[in-house]
Amino acid sequence: MTDTAHDRISTMINDNDVFLFMKGDPTFPQCGFSSVVAQVMQHLGLKFDSFNVLSDEDVREGVKAFSDWPTIPQLYVKGEFVGGCDIVKEMFQSGELQQLLDDKGIAHN
Amino acid sequence: MAMHADNIIEMIKQAMPGAEVSIEDLAGDGDHYAAKVIYDGFKGKSRVQQHQMVYKALKGKMGGELHALALQTSAPE
């Protein structure tokens, strides 16, 4: 991973309380897994920012090394990696995701 | 590129001795799987760490050869 990709990823996840690396954007996801996570976040009424990894190969590969996680989407809360589609879905269904957001002081539905 | 379910199970079991692995071919295309892994070594690990262990067992195939592997991990009760 290039230093610039690493720095850009750090900036994105630290400047936003909730940040999602995905394929496509929340309005037009270009992958089913990204779509699921975006839907969970929209359902929770979360204010979040996202980055379309299909638009930037450096970030697409960089974020996998950054979190030691081989796939996209990737959700970050307060700069911390929370998980991909399976984990986010599971945490949402069990209420753990809502608990995590409460703990971090992030407003949600 | 697709992978056989048997290969996936074998790779996971090799890296995680004693793990209980079940797998489902979701689309019947050898490319979209769901796996359930129960492993003693998951105790005390976060979900992210548990999934990372499975990805490591698959030696870089996840995200490459293997497009989709929905994962459910847990330690035995």
Judge contact between B24 and B34, C-beta under 8 A.
Answer: yes
Q: Is the pLDDT of residue B3 over 80?
A: no
Give the pLDDT band (50/70/90) at residue A1.
low
Q: Is the pLDDT of residue B25 over 90?
A: no
Reported as a single tens digit per residue, the pLDDT across A2-40 is 779 999 999 999 999 999 999 999 999 999 999 999 999
Judge contact between A60 and A53, C-beta under 8 A.
Answer: yes
CATH number (domain holding residue B62): 3.30.300.90
- pTM to 2 decimal places: 0.90
Domain that holds residue A94: 3-103
Q: Touching check for B37 and chain A: CB below 8 Å?
A: no
Q: Is the pLDDT of residue B1 over 60?
A: no
Sequence-ordered list of residues with C-beta below 8 angstroms from that of A27, at least 6 positions apart, any chain: none
Q: Using CB atoms, which residue from A82, A83, A86 is nearest to B70?
A: A86
Domain that holds residue B37: 5-74
Q: Touching check for B14 and chain A: CB below 8 Å?
A: no
Q: Is the pLDDT of residue B2 over 70?
A: no
Q: Is the pLDDT of residue B30 over 80?
A: no
The alpha carbon dihedral of A10, A14, A16, A21 has a sign of positive
* Secondary structure class of B46 (helix, strand, coil): coil
CATH number (domain holding residue A62): 3.40.30.10
Contact A85 B70 (CB under 8 A): yes
A80-83 and B68-74 strand pairing:
unpaired
Number of compact structural domains in chain B: 1
Give the pLDDT band (50/70/90) at residue B27.
confident
Q: Is the pLDDT of residue B71 over 60?
A: yes
Q: Touching check for A80 and chain B: CB below 8 Å?
A: no
Nearest CA in chain B to A81: B48
Residue A81 inside a domain? The answer is yes
Closest to A106 in 3D by CA, of A69, A79, A88, A85: A79
Q: Touching check for B21 and chain A: CB below 8 Å?
A: no
Number of compact structural domains in chain A: 1
Reported as a single tens digit per residue, the pLDDT across A50-88 is 999 999 999 999 999 999 999 999 999 999 999 999 999
Contact B47 A87 (CB under 8 A): yes
Residue A109 inside a domain? The answer is no
